[in-house]
Amino acid sequence: MPSFQITMQKPSLLLALPPRALWTNSWKYYAYTQFCLPGSARSIPKPLVQLAVDKGYRIAEGNEPPWCSWELPLIYSYIQDVYWNVGFLRYYELKQVPNFLLAAPVAILVTWGTWTYVTTHPWLCLTLGMRRNKSDETLEKPDPGFLSPRVFVYLVHAAALLLFGSLCMHVQVLTRFLGSSTPIVYWFPAYLLQHQEPLLRSLETVPWKPLAEDSPPGQKVPRNSIMGLLYNWKTCSRVTRCILGYFLTYWLLGLLLHCNFLPWT
């Protein structure tokens, strides 16, 4: 009997899983019972059967699919491989260039952030954070911001997600994949804005509080930092305009397209 079926027969293991993991594994087990166990499939209405035949889909009452004989019979892996063409470098086709362009900004942000961190703390990255160089004062008095040694684990996680998503996934989902999985996507742009935008110069004791006296003459800095940048858009640095322009454009287009059932990620 497959190990997957044995695992699902233990209620204590199911109860120990998080709600999302519980739902995902329950769905996979249900698919296993419907497609792989004899006599367990429910009757399918004839219109749906005809639709499956026309589309070339496999129905539960048909022959046993190949994934049922796997050591770990997971239907989702089979669907990704056969129907979605998910795999290593499979998405690298000329027709997918627009999708790569859509994912390019977030990929550039994570890559740039990784490079900035590695070049700032080479010894920390080389030793995977397990040994500290006593001659490095930045490690004895860590920066509380993006370049803090505590950020290292998040950066490794983000870099691994970027590498996996770029090579083995449909690249158009890379933005939401990284945006919902790692804070680096937001921490590094904030770091760039803080260190490269004059309007966001701040006191050491009160970070992120913009100083009106540090801003160029004739400009106003509202209490909200982002609104201050938007208010003085024309005089912002190129980096600031690129970052804010990307996030605002992505938010606006995503809101309009997704709500109208148009492709967006």
The mean pLDDT value for 136-151 works out to: 70
Q: Which of 139, 146, 79 is nearest to 114 (CA)?
A: 146
SS3 of the chain: the string is CCHHHHHHCCHHHHHHCCHHHHHHHHHHHHHHHHHCCCCCCCCCCHHHHHHHHHHCCCCCCCCCCHHHHCCCCCHHHHHHHHCCCCCCCCCCCHHHHHHHHHHHHHHHHHHHHHHHHHHHCHHHHHCCCCCCCCCCHHHHCCCCCCCCHHHHHHHHHHHHHHHHHHHHCCHHHHHHHHHCCCCHHHHHHHHHHHHHCHHHCCCCCCCCCCCHHHCCCCCCCCCCHHHHHHHCHHHCCHHHHHHHHHHHHHHHHHHHHHHCCCCCC
The mean pLDDT value for 28-54 works out to: 79
CB 106 within 8 A of CB 185: yes
CB 107 within 8 A of CB 115: no
- The string of pLDDT tens digits covering residues 233-243 is 888 888 899 99
Query: What's this model's pTM, rounded to 2 decimal places?
Result: 0.71
Q: What percentage of the chain has pLDDT greater than the value 70?
A: 74
Q: What is the pLDDT of residue 202?
A: 44
- The string of pLDDT tens digits covering residues 7-28 is 333 333 334 444 555 556 787 8
Work out the angle between the directed axes of helices 184-196 and 97-120 (0-180°, nearest 10): 60
- The string of pLDDT tens digits covering residues 57-115 is 777 666 778 888 888 888 888 888 888 888 899 999 999 998 899 899 999 999 999 99
The residues spanned by each domain of the chain are: 20-84, 94-133+143-205+223-260
Q: What percentage of the chain has pLDDT greater than the value 90?
A: 29
Q: Which two tokens stand for residue 90?
A: 């499979």
How confident is residue 1, by pLDDT bands cut at 50, 70 and 90?
A: very low
The mean pLDDT value for 115-141 works out to: 74
